[in-house]
Structure 1
Amino acid sequence: MPLPFVSSPSSPATAAGPLVAPSGPCPLAEPRPPGERRVWPRSFADRLTTPLPGFRAFARFAREGTVRPGPEGLADVPRLPYDPQPLPRVDARTVAVSWAGHASWVIRIGGLTVLTDPVWSRRILGTPARITPVGVPWSALPRVDAVVISHNHYDHLDAPTLRRLPRDTAMFVPAGLGGWFRRRRFTRVTELDWWEAAELGGARFDFVPAHHWSKRTLTDTCRSLWGGWVLTDTAGHRIHFAGDTGYGHWFSRIGRRYPGIDLALLPIGAYEPRWWLSDVHCDPEEAVRAFQDLGAHRMAPMHWGTFVLSAEPVLEPLTRVRAAWERAGLPREDLWDLPVGGARVLG
């Protein structure tokens, strides 16, 4: 999500938990108790990879910043890939993903149905209405066992969508965000710091770092954490959901700590103007580099073609990620460039 106006963060509080992963493979953290109530720092600003924009950056943006593509960049909206498919049939040994659009996935893993950053709304605050419909009808969903949230920006944390879920749905959320869910009467909320994990039905949910930030109101900049998730079933299948992130050192560290990632769900859109968004949003070429740093086997692009959040032409992320993949000499069958609504089963 493009950076709205924020004031400079105050002196960061001491972070809870480890900030770095060891340089090589190591035993994973013991799972935390589900629903555990914890005390967190007042601010997570010390986790920022780079400082948030200051006055000069905002002044430059006011002079020359472009927030939306022009008519030529929007001309391809009718050509955006949209092909709703039935959810794959699965059992406890099957891993499948379906892309509902933006950063919203329906993941079937370990016999569970997990939603990532679910946004089924037509419109989110401060953004034009979605340019492709939701790819998975809400009525087509089986019982949702769990939701994972990457951070609290409105295009990733959507209150109207979450109101559709039973209040006893398991919620896995970043540190400092649990109160938001409890105020809405969710009863099974687990907050995690980076490199921490919880379990549900035998599957592991590990919260991992990302190059991003958090803000939902005028007064809560970096009051909650941000990150991605690694989901692992009892057979060792692994999916990495990166959430919203720029490119940087965390990807190689995640790859070392969680070797053998079968599928990486990586963002490729909302990257122009580059000088404004490079710290918090990967461009397509950086997403391919992140995939390589992770050592993952397959990549599925996301965070494009759903909401118009920035200035690049709407179809450009797809054409650029395909070109970057080819230049890197990677097997074409390992790029799961799904249409909105598309689905794949992990063989």
Structure 2
Amino acid sequence: MTWIGHATCFLQHSDFTVLTDPIFGRRASPYPNTPIGFAREVPPACSIEDLGQSIDVCMISHDHYDHLDLESVRKLKSVVQLWFVPLGIAEWLQQHAQIPEERIIEVKWWDSVRLEKDSLAQTWKVAQRYSLEDAPYHHPSLDRLASPHEAWLTCLPAQHWSSRSFFDRNYRLWSSMACHFPSEQLFYFGGDTARPDSFPLFEQIRDYLARPIDLAALPIGAYAPAELCRDAHMHPHEAVQVHEALRAQRSVGIHWGSFPLAEEPLHEPADLLHECGVAQFDTVEHGAAVIIPVRGNVSDIAISA
């Protein structure tokens, strides 16, 4: 996984590639060419063109401007094969970016899809869908994938909210997400979330996934002032608690160091996370890659620039 910046990550597993919450623009704003919104202080580590001619899946956690950037989506339209999004965002992608309906996979919490690669066309398609209503006592993604050219994607809860204007608050769903690969490796993408005070959200997610999380990308920024931010974002100390609740073998802090979204200094989230002293949960520099060996041995985890 390469951290491009903010919540934008580029995941590579064998010949399968995933991009998360793409924002490559200079401003998180409904009007990016005006002073409205949040200007980017650290540029993305690479451009869309640097990622190659084809990205298999783009996962979008929710519709906020720092996670769903119209300019970036339009540039990615000819590059991304499939879009994996929570309820309500499919309509937005069709209306604003003219992305065909057949290329969008829209899901709700606890839904999963199994993707399968067509070896002739070299494209990915949905081979199976699953929701809790189908068979609540046996999640098919727990079964070992039969082919190296398969993957499960799962939409999971988050504590957050959605809106792109004064008139559509919580009109669209927000989520976290997971990818499960034939190697039995599991990647968890936190997107943007708070940690509930009195509800075991992340323990539920851990139990539902029912296998070790090899790598988690967890948001650690935009927490100050606490009285305004605590219901939507996590302080780094809370993110450590989420890392422990998920029992992730390795976690990386995201959602910091790119946009000044809140009152804390830009690099404070990373400093506070380092002070926690959790060896398996750290930050990386923009453009650095976290490499997880197939067997998921924590001692073998490497970071490369």
With normalisation by structure 2, the TM-score equals: 0.78
Secondary structure of 2:39 counterpart:
coil
- Contact 2:273/2:282 (CA < 8 Å) preserved in 1? no
Which residue is 1:104 aligned to? 8
Question: Unaligned 5+ residue runs, structure 1?
Answer: 1-96
- Contact 2:259/2:266 (CA < 8 Å) preserved in 1? no
- Contact 2:195/2:233 (CA < 8 Å) preserved in 1? yes
Which residue is 1:290 aligned to? 242
TM-superposition CA deviations, 1:32-87 (whole Å, max 9, x none) = xxxxxxxxxxxxxxxxxxxxxxxxxxxxxxxxxxxxxxxxxxxxxxxxxxxxxxxx
- Residues 246-255 or 134-143, more deviating: 134-143
Counterpart AA for 2:45 = G
Q: d(CA) in 2 for partners of 1:235 and 1:207?
A: 20
TM-superposition CA deviations, 1:106-151 (whole Å, max 9, x none) = 0112521111000000112143321111112322212211100000
Q: Aligned match of 2:89 in 158, 177, 188?
A: 177
1:313 shift after superposition: 1.5
Which residue is 2:76 aligned to? 165
Which residue is 1:140 aligned to? 50
- Contact 1:127/1:307 (CA < 8 Å) preserved in 2? no
- Residues 337-346 or 147-156, more deviating: 337-346
Which residue is 2:284 aligned to? 338
Counterpart AA for 1:310 = A
Q: d(CA) in 2 for partners of 1:177 and 1:137?
A: 24
Which residue is 2:119 aligned to? none
Relative contact order, higher structure (CA 8 A, sep 6+): 1
1:190 shift after superposition: 0.9
Which residue is 1:47 aligned to? none
Counterpart AA for 1:182 = Q
Which residue is 2:270 aligned to? 318
Q: Does 1:242 align with 2:190?
A: yes
Counterpart AA for 2:84 = F
Which residue is 2:163 aligned to? 215
Task: Provide the aligned C-alpha RMSD in A.
Answer: 1.3
Question: Unaligned 5+ residue runs, structure 2?
Answer: 30-35, 117-149, 294-305
- Contact 1:103/1:156 (CA < 8 Å) preserved in 2? yes
Which residue is 1:233 aligned to? 181
1:309 shift after superposition: 0.4
Counterpart AA for 1:285 = H
TM-superposition CA deviations, 1:199-254 (whole Å, max 9, x none) = 22311110000000111122111111101101111121101001000012211111
Counterpart AA for 1:147 = C
Q: Does 1:204 align with 2:155?
A: no
Secondary structure of 2:76 counterpart:
coil
**Structure with the largest fraction of strand:** 2
Counting only pairs closer than 5 Å after superposition, residues 67-78 of structure 1 correspond to structure 2 as: none
Which residue is 2:136 aligned to? none
- Contact 2:48/2:76 (CA < 8 Å) preserved in 1? no
Radius of gyration: which is bigger?
1
Q: Does 1:224 align with 2:172?
A: yes
